[in-house]
Structure 1
Amino acid sequence: MQFSIVFKTVGLLLMLFSLTQLPPIIVDFIYAQNEALYFITAFFLTLLSGFVLWLPFKNSTKDFRIREGVLVVVSFWLVLSLFATTPFLLSTSLEMSFSDAFFESMSGLTTTGATVLSGLDGLPKALLYYRQQLQWLGGMGIIVLAVAILPMLGVGGMELYHAESSGISKERLTPKLTQTAKALWKIYISLTVACALSYYFAGMDVFNAIGYSYSTIAIGGFSTHDVSIGYFNSYAIELVAIIFMLLAGVNFSLHFLVWRKNNIFIYLKDSEFKTYLLILGISIMLISGYLFDTGYYKTIEESVRYGVFQSVSMVTTTGFVSTDFSLWPFVLPVFLIFVSFIGACAGSTGGGIKVVRILLMFKLAMQEIKKFIHPNAQINIKLNQKSVSENTLVSVWGFLSLYVIAFVVIMLMLMFSGLEQVSAFSAAAASINNLGPGLGDVSANYGGISDTAKWILSFSMLLGRLEILTLMALLHKAFWRF
């Protein structure tokens, strides 16, 4: 293991991350709520720590290997979450414990959206902005951003890219990795700007429009109000959220191809995208129909309004709420938690298992049925008119197995920590799927659970964000063999 390149890279990344403490300072100067000092302290602490890590190894010219890439990704997410706690710990408006602060920062950076805070409406604007910004940075992956910048500083990024992007599709959009990262960020920023403008014209003020655009495009779910999007009670705002949650849940590589070829019909040729829309459509019909059929809402209009919004929010793992869905007939909240396991598309900012993996598993199941009927038949599994290799299918099976095992273990650990069954189930699902909202004791927020449960869930969030394999590899003894 070449630790010199690991320390050098983490140091560089920390120095870069220190710059993200500056926008909240500007926000505090605008609203004059005396929070700037905490962010200034966080800026210098993060910058200095990064410099101390980088300085002894600045002349290291060793190349990255996959093990160093994995170690940098995991350690940086942990270190970043650790330093991101600084404003939360220093602010007298919050008075948070270290467990709460780490949970909040990890939830933000992993775009989970679970929070231990209440009374958001009365918090200083700088803190509210900071929470939203954490999600925006985590949305595309701070490592991808670093891959676009680090080559200019003399550090390569291919291994970082593969360690961060452990999903099905690792295809680069452009010949050079740096150009790929830049292309993805251009799309990401463009969607964010478009979302913010749409929120503003739909009726939000500038502060909320920017804040909610961050968490919408990041598929995060953090809000500047306790009741989330429901605070605005606006058809127009909910429609904007639905549109951009849908867009953010699509593979960004697909967005790039549509933009580069100037052909919107490319979306309709993609198997994962069509399955994504199908899952959303089925969820919307089931939820809206059940709400109206049971008389929970008196009109079909209300049933459709809340059914559509909550279905899109949960399927994409955004976690916004326009109403307290935990009060719906019990089968519906449980159904929404289960559907969040599917998640958004691979290559999106969403969590969950990802649509493409579910699609491949369905195709594999159909293949087995056909083989049972026709034992001698040669049946290939295809995705977008291309045959899927056996290695890919084995990889998907392995991932799915690890995902299920991890979820069960986390749920049992939460129950041992004192959570009852429904709360433990929903909290485990909400964390590993990077979803946010839960049921039972965590339906409002996660402030009332034990510190032990918060640390378990923080680990689960990271596990889900790095799609299991990266973190599991680090925990395997074979990883550390020299």
Structure 2
Amino acid sequence: MQFRSIIRIVGLLLALFSITMLAPALVALIYRDGAGVSFVTTFFVLLACGAFCWFPNRRYKQELQSRDGFLIVVLFWTVLGSAGALPFLISDNPSVSVTDAFFESFSALTTTGATVLTGLDYLPKAILFYRQILQWFGGMGIIVLAVAILPVLGIGGMQLYRAEIPGPVKDRKMTPRIAETAKALWYIYLSLTIACALAYWLAGMTPFDAICHSFSTIAIGGFSTHDASMGYFNSEAINLIAVVFLLISACNYSLHFAAVASGGVHPRYYLRDPEFRAFFVVQGILFLICFGVLLLNQTYGSTFETFDMALFQTVSISTTAGFTTSSFSEWPLFLPVLLLFSSFIGGCAGSTGGGMKVIRILLLTRQGAREMKRLIHPRAVYTIKLGGTALNQRVVDAVWGFFSAYTLVFVVCMLALIATGMGELTAFSAVAATLNNLGPGLGEVASNFANVNDGAKWVLVLSMVFGRLEIFTLLILFTPTFWRS
């Protein structure tokens, strides 16, 4: 284990993160909301901490191994989440506890979107912007950004990329060089963000709201600058724009890259991908169920309003964004539970969405079908194919291992919440909302997490990190094998 090289890289990444504090400081200057001091102070503190880690170890540039990459990623997300809490702690408005500051920071960075803040409409613009930009950086992963722009990471960048990028297949690169791959991801990510912001602005949002909501939409984060979330705007056009960009962001970014690299966005790059097709089949089924049940119960006054609400909430919850136009928890009970379970599927691998990812659910389904066939024909040999290619059994085993670990972490976190005094329904939905990086839950956490006790909040912070790092990246650090030389 190259500990001094790891400390050097973490110092560089922390210094890189300190630069992000200048953006909300500029917003504070523009709007004169008095919140700029906390961000400027945080900038110098983080820059000094980064230099303190980097300078004594600046000559240690050994090649990183896979274990080093996993440790760097976990260290960085925990250090970054902790560092991100500083502006909340220093700022007078909002005035939050240490626990709430850490909860808000980790929720933003992991793109969970669960909040402990209320009265968002009256908070300083700089604080609101900071929450949104944290989600934006967390969406694609600031480590991927670092790999793209810090050549000092050298060939060890591949280890960071494998440990950071979500999804079961992590070794596939879109370009020969890993730095070029990371740059390609961020160019697409930035382009989608700009397009989304322009669309929101043209649909009636203020420039500030348009930029902030484009950050959380493309990151599939769910934070808003208003307590009423997207319901504040009461606009079918804005809801539709959110749906379109959430669906785009929930698709595998390698598909977007392939489509763009071909000289134009061609449908064939998407339609021949089995995960993409499965994703939209799931979205269609969920929408039809929600639309039909809401119509039967006459929840809304017109068919068009029912269509709008059903489409928006279906996409928002199932992609793990967590935006709301109305309280979906007040829908007929069957629907909130259905949508909460849909968040376990989440987005596609290589997207900014949370959950277990569509590709894993697809493979689990095909594995289940294969086992049923084997019961009928025990001697027959069946292979699991994806896109016409037979998969190695190791891939299928890895998916089953992930599912088992995911279930274990879920159960342990839920039991820990119940042990703190939380009700069963609230505990179940709170873990689902944080482990899937969804945001809103049911019961006491339907709107926010302000009333959750401090012990439960720390459990949920851990759940967020587990969900963002897809279980194994963090869980592997608790195994003796990882630390053996």
Classify the TM-score, shorter chain: over 0.9
User: How is 1:36-51 mapped onto 2 (pairs within 5 angstroms)?
Assistant: 36-51=36-51
Q: CA 1:31–1:141 in structure 2 vs 1: closer, same or farther (change >3 Å)?
A: same
Once the two structures are overlaid, the 10-residue window that deviates more, 163-172 or 278-287, is 163-172
Structure 2 counterpart of 1:58, which letter? R
Q: Kindly indicate whether residue 249 of structure 2 is the aligned counterpart of residue 274 of structure 1.
A: no
Match of 1:74 in 2: 74
CA distance in 1, matches of 2:480, 2:110: 26
Gap runs ≥5 in structure 1: none
User: How is 1:147-162 mapped onto 2 (pairs within 5 angstroms)?
Assistant: 147-152=147-152, 154=154, 156-162=156-162
CA distance in 1, matches of 2:195, 2:145: 20
CA deviation map 1:420-439 (0-9, x unaligned) = 01110100000000000011
Q: Is the 8 A contact 2:166 2:350 kept in 1?
A: no
Q: Secondary structure at the match of 1:157?
A: helix
Structure 2 counterpart of 1:255, which letter? H
Match of 1:213 in 2: 214
CA distance in 2, matches of 1:423, 1:374: 44
User: How is 1:341-420 mapped onto 2 (pairs within 5 angstroms)?
Assistant: 341-420=344-423
Match of 1:249 in 2: 250
| TM-score, normalised relative to structure 2 | 0.98
Q: Moved runs in structure 1, 4+ residues, more than 6 A?
A: none
Q: Secondary structure at the match of 1:80?
A: helix
CA distance in 1, matches of 2:33, 2:395: 53
CA deviation map 1:326-373 (0-9, x unaligned) = 111111111111110000000000000000000011111111122222
Match of 1:197 in 2: 198
Q: Secondary structure at the match of 1:341?
A: coil
Q: Name which of 276, 292, 295 aligns with 1:292.
A: 295
Structure 2 counterpart of 1:213, which letter? S
Match of 2:236 in 1: 235
Match of 2:109 in 1: 109
**What is the CA-CA distance between 1:300 and the residue it aligns to?**
2.0
Q: Kindly indicate whether residue 462 of structure 2 is the aligned counterpart of residue 459 of structure 1.
A: yes
**What is the CA-CA distance between 1:418 and the residue it aligns to?**
1.2
Structure 2 counterpart of 1:247, which letter? I
Structure 1 counterpart of 2:450, which letter? G
Gap runs ≥5 in structure 2: none
**What is the CA-CA distance between 1:303 and the residue it aligns to?**
1.7
RMSD (Å) for aligned C-alpha atoms: 1.0
CA distance in 2, matches of 1:111, 1:61: 32
Match of 2:52 in 1: 52
Matched pairs, number: 482
CA distance in 2, matches of 1:27, 1:324: 31
**What is the CA-CA distance between 1:62 and the residue it aligns to?**
1.5
Work out the percentage of aligned pairs sharing the same amino acid: 52
Q: Kindly indicate whether residue 32 of structure 2 is the aligned counterpart of residue 32 of structure 1.
A: yes
**What is the CA-CA distance between 1:154 and the residue it aligns to?**
5.0
**What is the CA-CA distance between 1:266 and the residue it aligns to?**
1.2
Q: Secondary structure at the match of 1:286?
A: helix
Q: Kindly indicate whether residue 433 of structure 2 is the aligned counterpart of residue 434 of structure 1.
A: no
Structure 2 counterpart of 1:296, which letter? T
CA deviation map 1:7-30 (0-9, x unaligned) = 000000001111000111111111
Q: Secondary structure at the match of 2:226?
A: coil
**What is the CA-CA distance between 1:443 and the residue it aligns to?**
1.0
CA deviation map 1:291-348 (0-9, x unaligned) = 1112222422222111110000011100000111111111111111111000000000
CA deviation map 1:164-200 (0-9, x unaligned) = 1252222100000000000000000000000000000
Q: Name which of 318, 321, 325 aligns with 1:318.
A: 321
**What is the CA-CA distance between 1:202 and the residue it aligns to?**
0.6
Q: Secondary structure at the match of 1:378?
A: coil
Q: Is the 8 A contact 1:289 1:303 kept in 2?
A: no
Q: Is the 8 A contact 1:344 1:350 kept in 2?
A: yes
Q: CA 1:331–1:359 in structure 2 vs 1: closer, same or farther (change >3 Å)?
A: same
CA deviation map 1:47-84 (0-9, x unaligned) = 00000000110001221111111111001001001111
CA distance in 1, matches of 2:309, 2:105: 29
